[in-house]
Structure 1
Amino acid sequence: MSIELGLDRIQRLLQYLPPYTRPTVHVGGTNGKGSVTSMLSSILLASNPPLSVGRFNSPHLLSVYDSIAINGKEVSPRAYDAARSTVVSADKEHGTRLTNFELLAVTALVIFETAKVDIAVIEVGLGGRLDATNAIPDDCILVSAMTTVGVDHQAFLGNTPSAISSEKAGIARKNKPFILGKQQYPEVYDVVETIVGGVGGDLIRARQVTRREWNPISLDMPYFPAPIHSQLPLQGAHQLDNLAIASEIVSTLLIHPACAPLGFCKHITADSIAKGIREVVWPGRLSFHIYSTKEIKPIVVLVDGAHNSASAATLSDYIAHLLSVSDGSNSSKTRSINLTFILSLSHSPPKTPLQTLSPLFPLPALGSKLTLNLSVAAVDFTPPDGMPWVKSVPSSEILEVVNGLVPDTTVWAPSDASPHPLEDALLWASTRCDDQSESLVVISGSLYLVADFYRLSGSDLNL
């Protein structure tokens, strides 16, 4: 079953299930949705007295269970299976024929309702206006929010930032606040203002979060008399923009007339916000790991799920910053760095591998005192469960694009018969590392490839 946007099926099925009543924050956008939901959930979980918090993200990373979390822990198979059985039985009985994602979204709602969570933080699946999560009743929505809009999923959402943002802003609700984050394309602001105003929503721009070289991040929230200081463990300058959205949501929960009567001020304090920010984790996004086997000595691996042009540009900027932080500018010695990418991409026309990879290659200029030895491997990812339409771009096609962008780069792909392409790629990447040079391996291009790395390495997701 492929992607089929629309609310008719899910709205019909919800009529036959116990009503969903949980107070909900709904987060859409192109890039940063997951980061915002993880930050917001972490802040809410740090509340005192504690709040019970549900979180729904898609796609899952290692298993379907990690797409649904309650109080920072993935849902148990028993709770998931019970809710899923209820949803599937109702779907069959009433002939509503939900898609796989719609079944998953309703399962999450049933789980949150059964657990009676104090608040649910729900990420939009695809788009917004016609996404299954937009079937949540208006009365349940406390705040809607939109992260950065990029050009992705054009076959479903349109080919321009304006068209895409129009679809994504479709999660706005009457008389409810709508938080808008910093945007790459200026036209998005006007489109969102029109859409939110048209439904009678209250548009709020997220306030900037600042970071000083000598100090932690600082954010101003009207409810508190002084700025809140904390440490943000997530890597990348773009995470400040995501934190700005998450903190604006929290501020809105505290002071907006549509939210304040629920009494979140009894739970959320300046100290709990700072604690929640310090403790946030979000697997697979600019995350460092040490990988080794009997055949491979320890190598440093950076994993990131960048899968479109905007997130690829963010990854490129981060790597350039990382390599230039200690670029030896005060030394006459030239540094040599072995940088090896292991890439996989989803086949998602009209988006092309060239569009995704051109912001990544070549990397920005790194200075005259740094020699970069670039290598690129391309592999297939393991097809995700329940999504048979998700397929890898052939390795040969990826490497052809890489060769066009950065000629003379050393490239590699596993044999077609290889049962463990990522494991083979890491072994090959380890041969590109040596004791005489600094070395970094980057795994990117798809969250499904990132999931393969987590399975291979046994890394803990730490939701």
Structure 2
Amino acid sequence: MSIDLSLDRIKLLLAHLPVYNRPTIHIAGTNGKGSVSALVSSILSAAGLNIGRFNSPHLVAVRDGISIRGAPISEEEYAAARAEVERVDKDCGAGVSSFEVLTATALLAFQRAQLDVVVLEVGLGGRLDATNAIPDDCVLVSALTAVDLDHQAFLGNTVEAIAREKTSIARSGRPFVVGPQKHASVIDVAQAVVADAGADCILASPALARDWDDAVDGPHADPSTFSAPPPQPVSVSVSGFSSSVPAQLPLFGTHQLDNLGTATAIISTLLSHPSCVSRLALRDTLSPAIVSQGIKSTRWPGRLSYHKLSANKLPGLTADMNILVDGAHNAASATTLSDYIERILAAHPEAPIAFILALSHSPPKTPSETLSALFAFARMNSTKTRVSVAGTGFSSVEGMPWVKPVLPSDITSTAREILPDVDVWTAPDGKPEHLGEALRWASQQAKDGLVVVAGSLYLVADFYRLLGDDTTNPL
């Protein structure tokens, strides 16, 4: 795999570009950093701030990873910033990678837009990630979301080693928020790294689930079995507010309580830490109502997102399909998806479920590790939910030519090793044009049930491309 982690190239490039000085929230983690960045951006946007956001990988097109004032960067702004980055790279001889070009393009675009705050998601790891080349002075808050095993070839073979790499975005004199963790050792490592960096460590707590309250949340409508449920009613604590804030969380899964807790801890830190208060006057604009509105307005497609596929949208379909789309790509995120599926199937244990799966080839991660976690719900389901699996591939990823799909036959053979009675369909190769065929097959396998598209955000992107841009809007 062609990845050379280093800050030398990007620092040389940035030294020849306009100085980046936007107040920045820098977020690392294995899982959840995209959700946290979306939540934080939405809350701050609701408060009237002009927000930039950088997420990777992009979903449908490379531009959608760079958001300015709540929308993907325009083609004109992107082209102009990228052209300047590439010209400067050539002139100074930095020889930056494609991801470093993308990162520098985002930073230049954010600087040109003179945004109030930028929410910057780490690409890979943290210590040597291109986003970590930003100046210390511009960092408002750094944060760490859930850490688990992934990208071991680059970050280390233990969660402790990976946590050390990711926490190393900490900056002296700045606050560092540590989100809830499955592995207690991650918190120990994070606290030590943050202390060594001279930063201030803040431990976040999960948001609290609460019962639906018609007086607060409005009438409660129960959806049909496999359509999008209503938002999760939650309660969050924010520094300076006299009581907890009731809100509706449109991101599904109990793991999103952890992510929301991390996001609101970042907001609380912006409101209370001296280094943040001196740079952002949020106290007068951020009210409980604004926080609640920002949470409810959050959109993060491709992560436990529900979509209705109309029969007339894809030739060969005989009925509308309810589809759950999720970018779960490692054992930890697959476990989260499996837990969610187990909960929604609890009331209808005999409903069929069909998966359309693609996986990235990323040793030492194996298909067995991810799929064993994903199919845990079926192994524990005594009523024998009928499970079907379609194995396919995904499109080549713009700017990341080293990303390759696992062979579809490896996916379906692994599925059969885990679930011997599973029905399978295997794409003849890893090309994306087989997705439509997989959807048609899945619609027959899971009539009156659930179809799940998962295993890779790159497959999720192909799903959105196949069905049109409007499909990225969750139900």
* TM-score, L = length of structure 1: 0.94
- Say which of 80, 97, 100 aligns to 1:99: 97
1: CA distance between counterparts of 2:435 and 2:397?
Answer: 15
Q: Does 1:361 find its partner at 2:371?
A: no
- Residue 366 of structure 2 aligns with which residue? 352
- Residue 331 of structure 2 aligns with which residue? 309
- Say which of 309, 323, 329 aligns to 2:345: 323
- Residue 28 of structure 2 aligns with which residue? 28
Q: CA offset at residue 3 of structure 1?
A: 1.6
- Say which of 404, 421, 432 aligns to 2:445: 432
Q: Does 1:182 find its partner at 2:180?
A: yes
Structure 1 unaligned blocks of 5 or more: 328-334
The farther-off stretch of 382-391 and 163-172 is 382-391
2: CA distance between counterparts of 1:401 and 1:87?
Answer: 44
- Tell me if structure 2 keeps the 8 A contact 1:51–1:267: no
Give SS of 1:376's match.
Answer: strand
Cα deviation per residue 1:114-139 (whole Å; 9 max; x = unaligned)?
00000000000000000000001000
Q: CA offset at residue 417 of structure 1?
A: 9.6
2: CA distance between counterparts of 1:431 and 1:42?
Answer: 38
The aligned amino acid for 1:377 is A
Q: Aligned pairs, how many?
A: 449
Q: What is the Cα-based RMSD across aligned positions, in Å?
A: 1.6
- Say which of 385, 392, 398 aligns to 1:385: 398
- Residue 277 of structure 2 aligns with which residue? 260
2: CA distance between counterparts of 1:311 and 1:172?
Answer: 25
Q: Does 1:336 find its partner at 2:350?
A: yes
Q: CA offset at residue 363 of structure 1?
A: 1.6
Q: Does 1:285 find its partner at 2:303?
A: yes
2: CA distance between counterparts of 1:247 and 1:72?
Answer: 19
Q: Does 1:38 find its partner at 2:38?
A: yes
The aligned amino acid for 2:418 is L
Q: CA offset at residue 462 of structure 1?
A: 5.0
- Tell me if structure 2 keeps the 8 A contact 1:323–1:366: no
Matches within 5 A, 1:60-71: 60-71=58-69
Distance 1:78 1:4, change over 3 A: same
- Residue 12 of structure 1 aligns with which residue? 12
Q: CA offset at residue 418 of structure 1?
A: 7.2
- Residue 160 of structure 1 aligns with which residue? 158
Cα deviation per residue 1:311-369 (whole Å; 9 max; x = unaligned)?
00000000000111x24xxxxxxx6311000000000011111111111124256765x
Structure 2 unaligned blocks of 5 or more: 214-232
The farther-off stretch of 220-229 and 156-165 is 220-229
Q: CA offset at residue 288 of structure 1?
A: 0.8
The farther-off stretch of 401-410 and 305-314 is 401-410
- Residue 444 of structure 1 aligns with which residue? 454
- Residue 224 of structure 2 aligns with which residue? none
The aligned amino acid for 2:389 is V
- Tell me if structure 2 keeps the 8 A contact 1:317–1:364: no
Question: Which portions of structure 1, spanning 4 or more consecutive aligned residues, are displaced by more than 3 angstroms?
Answer: 364-368, 416-419
- Tell me if structure 1 keeps the 8 A contact 2:331–2:373: yes
1: CA distance between counterparts of 2:39 and 2:377?
Answer: 29
Distance 1:459 1:15, change over 3 A: closer
2: CA distance between counterparts of 1:212 and 1:337?
Answer: 28
- Residue 71 of structure 2 aligns with which residue? 73
Q: CA offset at residue 222 of structure 1?
A: 2.5
2: CA distance between counterparts of 1:21 and 1:60?
Answer: 24
2: CA distance between counterparts of 1:191 and 1:124?
Answer: 19
Distance 1:179 1:417, change over 3 A: closer
1: CA distance between counterparts of 2:54 and 2:432?
Answer: 32
Matches within 5 A, 1:97-246: 97-215=95-213, 216-246=233-263
1: CA distance between counterparts of 2:191 and 2:178?
Answer: 9
Distance 1:446 1:122, change over 3 A: same
Q: Does 1:295 find its partner at 2:298?
A: no
- Tell me if structure 1 keeps the 8 A contact 2:239–2:271: no
2: CA distance between counterparts of 1:185 and 1:281?
Answer: 28
Q: Does 1:275 find its partner at 2:293?
A: yes
